[in-house]
Amino acid sequence: MRNALLILISASVSFSCNTKLVKSEFRATNSGAWNKDNTIAFSFSEIDTVQRHNIFINVRNDATFAYSNLFLIAELEFPTGETLKDTLQYEMALPDGTWLGKGYGSIKENKLWYKENIVFPTTGVYTIRISQAMRKNGSVNGVVNLEGITDVGYEIERSSE
């Protein structure tokens, strides 16, 4: 019985580990609301400069998120000072209102593509900055406090290509 339990634990640990994962980090928003002026930044270094990588933006939302899409501005700053800036749109819910993403209960986590097959060409400190760029239909001004976004993060994986 003890050997069977040990085998089961070993198997579950080996299957649950993501061997492609290089880096991952989350930051909580302010009481479940993401202010338009709150740019969330993550810095990292010590990354393989030959291997191709995929970068994801991870977002956790709860039922108070009132939109079916999410608009973000993401910047990737290289150690050289060069910056890539993108405006991104992600679908967060189906037309019938069913939330996309994984999770049980009221929190859903979405793993959103940011950069695919990117090579980090030099050693040094890289910085990812993410801000929300939501607007209500017909409004020029942005949503000041985006309710329902509880956490924002990033994930870097080794590319299989």
Q: Would you kindly state where each structural domain of the chain is located, as residue ranges?
A: 21-158
69 HSE (CA, 13 A, CB side): 10
pLDDT tens string 109-127: 999 999 999 999 999 999 9
At residue 26, the pLDDT reads 96
- pLDDT of res. 141: 86
Mean of pLDDT values over 140-159: 94
Q: Strands of 69-77's sheet, edge to edge?
A: 40-44, 126-132, 69-77, 83-91
In whole angstroms, what is the distance from residue 99 CA to residue 119 CA? 32
At 28, the pLDDT band (50, 70, 90 cuts) reads very high
pLDDT value for 142: 86
Alpha-carbon span 148 to 67, nearest angstrom: 9
State the amino acid at position 15 in one-letter form. F
Please indicate whether residue 11 or residue 142 has the higher confidence score (pLDDT).
142
Q: Which of 40, 20, 22 is nearest to 30 (CA)?
A: 40
How far apart (Å, rounded) are the C-alpha atoms in residues 96 and 117? 33
What torsion, rounded to 10 degrees, do the Cα atoms 59, 61, 26, 40 define? 70
Q: Which residues pair with 52 in a beta bridge?
A: 119
Higher pLDDT, 19 or 23: 23
Q: Which of 88, 46, 92 is nearest to 69 (CA)?
A: 92
Residue 32 DSSP symbol: T
CATH class for the region spanning 21-158: mainly beta
Q: Which is higher by pLDDT, 21 or 104?
A: 21
| Neighbouring C-beta atoms of residue 19, cutoff 10 Å | 7
**Residue 54: beta bridge partners?**
157
Cβ atoms 111, 18 nearer than 8 A:
no
What's the one-letter identity of residue 110?
Answer: N
Mean pLDDT rounded to a whole number for the chain: 89
Residue with tokens 């910056």: 83
- Band (pLDDT 50/70/90 cuts) for residue 16 is low
